[in-house]
A and B are shown apart, each in its own frame.
Chain A
Amino acid sequence: MVMSETADSPLANQAQKSLESENIETGEPKMRARDVDVYYGSKQAIDGVNIDVYTEFVTAFIGPSGCGKSTFLRALNRMNDTIPSARVTGTIELDGDDIYASGMDVVQLRARVGMVFQKPNPFPKSIYDNIAYGPKIHGLAESKSDLDEVVEKSLRRAGLWEEVKDRLTDSGTALSGGQQQRLCIARAIAVDPEVILMDEPCSALDPIATAKIEELIDELRGRYGIVIVTHSMQQAARVSQRTAFFHLGNLVEYGHTSDIFTNPVEKRTQDYITGRYG
C-alpha cells in the first residue's frame, strides 16, 4: 500500500511530532480567503482558493515552482497592489473585515499583516534604524527610550539580540545572510503585526541559519499568525501544523500537516510529497 510507504518516512515522523502541539481549541480564523482569483493581466495565476489562517498554527504553502504560492501570499497583504497588472477577486478577510474593501487602509493592513521576503532585504541603514523604521512610521514609540525598548524586544524575539547588541549602529547590510533574515523578521515583529507572511525565508540560508529561523518560527507561533512558503517538505513538516498544497494555481489540498504528509487525499499531493514531480 502506498500510504504506509509515506507513513514510515522520516517526513511523516516529523509531521507526527508537530501534531502534539496541535491540540489547541480552534477559534475563529485570523484570515479567511474565499474564491480568490488572482490575474496578471489576462493570465490567471490563482484560481478559486479558499483557505483559513489561524493564529494558533503555522500554515505552510507548498507546491511546485510557478504554482502561485507567492502570488497568493502577496494577495494576503495586498502586496500585489505594487504590480500594475495584478488583479485580485473574491474575498480575503482579516478578523472578518474584507481587506480588498474600498474602506480598507492598505497601510494599516500591511502593518497588521507583515511580510518577510525570500532574499533578506535589510535597508541600508543601521541595525537599530532597520528595526526602528516601522515603529517610527506608525508612531508606535512615544520617546527614544520607548523606541530603544521596542528595538531590543524585537531583536530578542528574533533571537538576534545577543549577536548584535554591541553593534546596533553598524549597517544592517553588514550582517551575514542568516542574521539579515532574522533582522528582517525582527523588523516585521517590531510593528507588532497580527500575521507574518514568509516567502521562502530560508532558501538563501545554510542549514544552521535555517534551524535558527525555524526555531524562531516555532517560538512566534501563537503570538502571530504565521504563513510560510517553502520548497522543503522537511521544513513544512517541521514547522507547520497546517499545510496547503498548491498546483497550477489551484489549492489542491489543505489540512493538518500530519494528514497531508501521511495521508494525503489527492493523488497529486501524494505524488508531490513523495517527489514524483515538482
Chain B
Amino acid sequence: MSASTLILLVLGLGLAGWLVARSRAAMFRNASENRRIASLPVYHAWYAALWIVVPTLLFALIWAPISEQLIIQHVLASPAAADLPAFGMQRETLLSEARNVATGATSGVFNQEAAALVEPFEEALFRYRIVGFIVTLLVAAAGAAYAFLRLKPDFRARTQVERAVLSTLLLASLVAILTTLGILVSLVFETVRFFGMVSPIDFLFGTNWSPDPMSSASNPDGSRYGAIPLFWGTLFIGAIIAMIVAIPLGMMSAIYLNQYAPPRVRTWVKPALEILAGVPTVVYGYFAALTIAPAIRDMALSLGVSNPSSESALAAGLVMGVMIIPFVSSMADDSIAAVPQAMKDGSLAMGATQNETIKRVLVPAALPGIVAGIMLAISRAIGETMIVVMAASFAANLSANPLEAMTTVTVQIVALLTGEGSFDHPATLAAFALGFVLFMVTLVLNIIALRVVKRFREAYE
C-alpha cells in the first residue's frame, strides 16, 4: 500500500464522515420543532470530515520519517548487516540499492553484498506498512469518534469550522513569510562564512574585483574582493541610466493616459503598456544584446569614439529602462487617479489650465505615490538579472562612461555560482555576500516605498 492509496483511503473516510455527519445533523433538524439548530448540517459535516482527515494526515506526515528510521534499524539489526562497512559512501550505496530492490524500483542488485540485505528490507517494509495502516485507521476512528460525540443540535459547528478555515489561511500566509525568513537566514549564514575569510571592509570599500576561484581557499587575497565596481555598475545601469529612460517616459505616458487620452485610446494603450511588463526579461536581453548594443557601438564609432565596447552599460540600461516603464507609469497612473476630482475641479475653477492643474496640483498631490512607484521600479531594476547577463559584460569597471562595459551585482552572482569553484571557496561564497547586500538594499527600498504609499493613502481618507 503506497502513500497515494493511503491518502485516498483517508479522503474516502473523510467523505464518509462528511455524509454521515450531515444526515445526522439533518435528523437533529427534523427532530427540532422549528427546524432551527445552532449550525447548518453542512457545517456539522465539515466538522466531522476535518476531524477525520486532518489528524490522519498529520500522523502520516510524522510517520513517514519515523517509519524510515525504524526500517533502517530493523535492517541493521539483521545478521546480514554485520558485514556492512561501518561508514561512508559504500555503506549508503549498498543500503539504498537493497532498498530499491525491496520496493521493486529496480529489478536486480549490482553489488552482491546488497543482495543479502534485500530480504530484511522487505520484511521491515512490510511490517511497518501494516503498522502504519492500522495506526492510520485508529487515528481516523479516534477523530471520527471525537467529532461524532460532539455533534448535538446546539453544537456550534460553524464556529469550529470557521476557526479551521481561519487557521488554514493564516498558515498559507505564514508559508510565504517563513520562506522569506529562511532565504534570509541561509543568506546570512553563507555571508558570515564569507566574511570569515574576507574582511567586510575589503569587500564593501575595495575597488578591485577579480575573485580567483583557483587561488588557495584558506588564505584568500582580500584585495581582489572589492565590490565597489559592482555596486557602481548596478547603480549606474539600474538606478541611473534605466531611470533616465523610465521616469520621464513612464510619467508622461501616465499623465497622457490619465488626463488627456480619450477613453478609446486608453482602453487600448494601457493594456499594451502592461504587456511590456509581462515580456520575459530574457527577451529584453536578446533585444539589448543583439539590436541595441550593436547600434550603440556603431553610433559611438560614427561619433569618433575609438574602439567602443560592444557590451556597453548604456545598452543594458536603456533596455532595462524600457522594461521598467510600466512599473513607473502604472503606479503614477494610480496615484494621479487617486487624487480626488474635487482637487482638480478646484484648480480648474480658479482658471488654471489643464496643464497647470496637472503640474501644480495633480502631480504634487500624487508625488508620494509616484516616488514610491519609482523606488519599487529601482529595486526591480537593480535586482534584474537576465538583461544584464546578456547585454552587460562580466568586466568589473569603475567608470562614468556609459559606453564602457560594466558589470552588475546580479551578473557577478551568476558568474560566481556557475563557475568552477567549490562551495567553501570565498570566490563562490562572495555570491552570497553580494546577494545579501542586494537583498538588503531592495528590502529597504521596498519598505520605504510601502510606507510612503501608506501615508499617501491615509492623506485622502
Contact = CB atoms under 8 A, between A and B. Distances in A.
A15 interface: no
A107 B342 contact: no
A133 B352 CA distance: 9
Interface stretch (B132-140, B160-168, B353-361): B353-361
A114 B349 CA distance: 6
B342 A119 contact: yes
Interface string A93-123: 0000000000000011111101101010111
Interface in A62-112: 77, 79, 82, 107-112
B348 interface: yes
Nearest to B365: A124
Nearest to A197: B349
B459 A124 contact: yes
Interface residues of A, number: 27
A184 B459 contact: no
A117 to B, nearest CB: 6
B345 A82 contact: yes
B347 A79 contact: no
Given A121-B340, A123-B361, A79 B348 contact: yes
Nearest to A138: B351
A110 B361 CA distance: 17
A228 B149 CA distance: 72
Contact of B343 (A108, A121, A188): A121
B243 to A, nearest CB: 25
A137 B356 CA distance: 8
B346 interface: yes
Contacts of A122: 346
Contacts of B340: 121
Interface in B325-382: 340, 342-353, 356, 360-361, 364-365
Given A107-B353, A137-B356, A191-B351, A125 B346 contact: no
A263 interface: no
Contacts of B347: 123, 133
A137 B355 CA distance: 11
A187 interface: yes
A173 interface: yes
B341 to A, nearest CB: 9
B364 to A, nearest CB: 7
Contacts of A191: 350-351
Given A124-B459, A137-B356, A137-B360, A117 B345 contact: yes
- Which of B346, B360, B364: most chain A Cβ within 10 A? B346
B346 A121 contact: yes
A133 B345 contact: no
Contacts of A177: none
Given A123-B361, A124-B459, A173-B459, A114 B350 contact: yes
SS of B interface (majority)? helix
Interface in B358-413: 360-361, 364-365
Contacts of B360: 133, 137
Contact of A123 (B346, B353, B356, B459): B346
Contacts of B346: 117, 121-123, 184, 187
- Which of B348, B349, B365: most chain A Cβ within 10 A? B349
B98 to A, nearest CB: 75
Nearest to B459: A124
A134 interface: yes
Interface string A129-146: 000011001100000000
A117 B352 contact: no
Contacts of A115: 345, 349
A124 B353 CA distance: 18
- Which of B345, B346, B350, B364: most chain A Cβ within 10 A? B350
- Which of B340, B351, B365: most chain A Cβ within 10 A? B351
Contacts of A133: 347, 350, 352, 360
B343 A123 contact: yes
Contact of B350 (A82, A111, A124, A125): A111
B54 to A, nearest CB: 52
Contacts of A107: 351-353
B365 A123 contact: yes
A117 B350 contact: no
Contact of B349 (A79, A108, A119, A125): A79
Nearest to B349: A115
Contacts of A188: 349-350
Interface string B431-461: 0000000000000000000000000000100
Nearest to A111: B351
Nearest to A124: B365
Nearest to B460: A124
Contacts of B361: 123
Interface string A175-209: 00000000010011001000000000000000000
A124 B346 CA distance: 12
A276 B186 CA distance: 76
- Which of A111, A122, A124: most chain B Cβ within 10 A? A124
B453 to A, nearest CB: 15
Contact of B351 (A108, A117, A124, A184): A108
A134 B345 contact: no
Interface string A220-255: 000000000000000000000000000000000000
Interface of B: 340, 342-353, 356, 360-361, 364-365, 459
Given A108-B351, A110-B350, A133-B350, 9 more contacts: A79-B345, A82-B344, A107-B353, A110-B348, A114-B351, A115-B349, A117-B346, A121-B340, A123-B361
10 contacts: A79-B345, A82-B345, A107-B352, A117-B349, A119-B342, A134-B352, A137-B360, A173-B459, A184-B346, A188-B350
Interface of A: 77, 79, 82, 107-112, 114-115, 117, 119, 121-125, 133-134, 137-138, 173, 184, 187-188, 191
State the 5 A-B residue pairs at the shortest beta-carbon distance, nearest first: A111-B351, A115-B349, A121-B342, A110-B351, A121-B346
